[in-house]
Amino acid sequence: MLCEVNVSYSPSLSENGNIDVDLHPQVSVIIPIYNEVESLVSLVSAIAQTLAATSRPYEIICVDDGSKDGSISLLKELAETRTDLRAVIFRRNYGQTAAMAAGFHYAQGDIIVSLDADLQNDPSDIPRIIAKVEEGYDLVSGWRQDRQDAAFTRLLPSKIANWIIGRVTNVRIHDYGCSLKGYRAELLADMNLYGELHRFLPALAFMEGAKIAEIPVKHHPRRYGSSKYGLGRTLRVLMDLLTIWFMQKFLTRPMHVFGSLGLVSMGLGVLTGLYLTIVKYGFGQNIGDRPLLILVVILLLAGVQLFSFGLLGELLIRTYHESQGRPIYRVREVV
């Protein structure tokens, strides 16, 4: 639910020069952090400045994903001195998706904005993202039109991946990999993230019936630290895409898919079997050494298996939905 805009709110400066944010935050900014100690201070102050200028109650949630470079002690220090910052510290490195999921979990705002810790995303874009969400979108994704990463190992694979992902998921945005995104909190409450699926948030959101928009954002080269990913990521992204595709297709109706495949296979098996029976008893030919006989057996067995797989799928899907209290529909509003 979008809370009413608190017009009377004006940020007050506390003794230590920070902005006091005691009110329920309207905007939560979440940042996954893995060995980014050099950029943290300027990142946090840039975000705070930008958001304070919008006069909205906000909070910054830094999720440390098992850093080993001193990010943790710096974050603890920041969390102690700033009232607008909370730090969530993981026991070990779980990956960016887990860090983002934790950020979503601890965020209290009605609008949640995620961005990278390495200053590649520009905090000055945040107000535009928020404005777009408030226009009525559930998810607003940044589009790094002028992306500053290595051409061959990053830009090219990413271009291809974006194209394929767009085709498969039917969510045609240009830049799935951009971490700078805005979300309506109620949308995220409906979603579970696994593996490295944060990249597919727009696709997952679309499956939940979200309205999605894209706006161009700035992008800078990495100034400190090093990228946590390389060429190997492309393959993992493609594997994740298979998962998404599978979920999209089969999540609500496994029996339709596997059941019909099973029926087709069994049908073909029965027909071919009939043909062989006629050949044997009608024409007295020997069929024991015919490859077709093996095909009949395979078709029938595969058919039975696919069919039972569909039934099992139905059972699993029911457990999946019911154990989590997941409805099979999502309501935008009831008027």
Which residues lie near ligand UDP (CB under 6 A)? 32-34, 36, 65, 93, 95-96, 99, 116-118, 120, 179, 227-229
Distance CA 46, CA 77 (A): 17
Residue nearer to ligand UDP on the CB measure, 154 or 184 = 154
Q: At 85, give phi and psi (nearest 5°).
A: -125, 135
Residue nearer to Mg ion on the CB measure, 209 or 221 = 221
Rounded to a whole number of angstroms, the minimum distance from the CB of residue 114 to ligand UDP is 10
Q: Please choose which of ligand UDP, Mg ion, none residue 96 contacts, taking the beta carbon within 5 to 8 angstroms, the exact cut-off set by kind.
A: ligand UDP
Cβ proximity of 88 and 103 under 8 Å: yes
Residue nearer to ligand UDP on the CB measure, 192 or 227 = 227
Rounded to a whole number of angstroms, the minimum distance from the CB of residue 311 to ligand UDP is 39
CB atoms within 10 A of CB 150: 12
Q: How far is CA 79 from CA 33, 62, 69, in A?
A: 14, 9, 17
Check residue 65 for interaction with Mg ion (CB under 5 A). no
Residue nearer to Mg ion on the CB measure, 28 or 120 = 120
Rounded to a whole number of angstroms, the minimum distance from the CB of residue 196 to ligand UDP is 9
Which range, of 11-19, 103-111, 117-125, 263-271, touches Mg ion by CB under 5 A?
Answer: 117-125
Q: Are strands 111-114 and 27-33 parallel, antiparallel or unpaired?
A: parallel
Unique residue bearing structure tokens 């107000």: 127
Rounded to a whole number of angstroms, the minimum distance from the CB of residue 71 to ligand UDP is 9
Helices (H), 196-290: 201-207, 232-250, 254, 260-277, 283
Distance spanning both ends of the chain, measured CA to CA: 14
Q: Please choose which of ligand UDP, Mg ion, none residue 117 contacts, taking the beta carbon within 5 to 8 angstroms, the exact cut-off set by kind.
A: ligand UDP
Q: Please choose which of ligand UDP, Mg ion, none residue 81 contacts, taking the beta carbon within 5 to 8 angstroms, the exact cut-off set by kind.
A: none
Check residue 114 for interaction with Mg ion (CB under 5 A). no
Q: Which residue in 28, 39, 120, 158 binds Mg ion (CB under 5 A)? A: 120
Q: Please choose which of Mg ion, ligand UDP, none residue 183 contacts, taking the beta carbon within 5 to 8 angstroms, the exact cut-off set by kind.
A: none
Three-state SS for 148? Answer: coil
Which range, of 74-82, 116-124, 127-135, 317-325, touches Mg ion by CB under 5 A?
Answer: 116-124
Q: How far is CA 143 from CA 7, 29, 176, in A?
A: 31, 18, 8
Structure tokens at 255: 């029996």
Rounded to a whole number of angstroms, the minimum distance from the CB of residue 117 to Mg ion is 8
Amino acid at 45: S
HEC string of 174-212 equals CCCCCCCEEEEHHHHHCCCCCCCHHHHHHHHHHHCCCCE
Rounded to a whole number of angstroms, the minimum distance from the CB of residue 120 to ligand UDP is 5
Check residue 118 for interaction with Mg ion (CB under 5 A). yes
Binding site for Mg ion (CB under 5 A): 116, 118, 120
